[in-house]
Amino acid sequence: MTYVFPPPPRVALPVIGNDALFPVRRVYCVGRNYADHAVEMGADSREPPFFFSKPPDALVAGGGDVPYPPLTGNLQHEVELVVALAAGGAQIPVARALDCVFGYAVGLDLTRRDVQQRAKDKGHPWDMAKGFDHSAPIGAIVPLTASGHPAQGAIQLRVNGQLRQNGDLGQMSWKVAEVIANLSTHVRLEAGDLIFTGTPAGVSTVARGDLLEAVVAGVGELTVRLI
């Protein structure tokens, strides 16, 4: 096979304790999956899960310096547990959903909140609010053998050392198995898919120069500097 120009490089993430990389296929995200964040966004916490996606090349492996995006005056952080899949399927039962998991990572769902609010007001899509370049910093994937399935424990984000988000994985409205099962009713999932599972309350506006430190208990840490 030849191409009319060189194809873009395969997006892949490092795996803790493994020299081989995790090849990324798709990046899905769950909206409003912690009751307290749903309330701060003005929603009913009992709504069924809904999904959006980011392009795989919006991932920033390992964090580090992340450029402040254009066309926003209100960039916000959302610290999230990310599920990495080693298998997929359609109509996956909840009882078998965790069998698809390869491991977990710490992710940031960076959001142009002002762009998102205008999109909500007009019924427009969220892509430019959520799927912009460098919008998904993510740490190395921790394989299941090391992480287990984290269902409880701190999920936190600090900005310049100040605690802004301080949640617990146990507050997730839709648990990881339910998220996988529900998403697989919409689309066929495959090995290489990532799912950002939502954020607890405390999202706030950040600026150029800010240091963002995310941590998920049992999974790891992720540090980003906005430049």
Rg (CA), the chain: 17
Q: Residues with Cβ < 8 Å from 225, sequence gap 6 or more?
A: 64, 65, 66, 209, 210, 211, 212
* Closest to Mn ion by CB, 78 or 193: 78
Choose which of 109, 158, 180, 214 interacts with Mn ion (CB under 5 A): 109
The reply on whether position 49 binds Mn ion by CB under 5 A is no
Q: How far is the CB of 209 from Mn ion (least distance, A)?
A: 23
The reply on whether position 78 binds Mn ion by CB under 5 A is yes
**28 three-state secondary structure:** strand
Q: How far is the CB of 95 from Mn ion (least distance, A)?
A: 26
Q: How far is the CB of 39 from Mn ion (least distance, A)?
A: 15
| 3-state DSSP percent of the chain in helix, strand and coil, to 5 | 20, 40, 40
Sole window of 11-19, 68-76, 160-168, 193-201 interacting with Mn ion (rule: CB under 5 A)? 193-201
Q: Residues with Cβ < 8 Å from 5, sequence gap 6 or more?
A: none
Q: How far is the CB of 130 from Mn ion (least distance, A)?
A: 8
- Chain position whose Cβ is nearest to Mn ion: 109
The reply on whether position 75 binds Mn ion by CB under 5 A is no
Q: How far is the CB of 6 from Mn ion (least distance, A)?
A: 33
* Closest to Mn ion by CB, 37 or 158: 37
Sole window of 67-75, 117-125, 154-162, 191-199 interacting with Mn ion (rule: CB under 5 A)? 191-199
Q: Could you write out the DSSP letters of every residue in 161-201?
A: TEEEEEEEGGGBSS-HHHHHHHHHHHS-B-TT-EEE----S
User: What is each CA distance from 24 to 141, 145, 191, in whole angstroms?
Assistant: 11, 20, 8
Binding residues for Mn ion, rule: CB under 5 A, are: 78, 109, 199
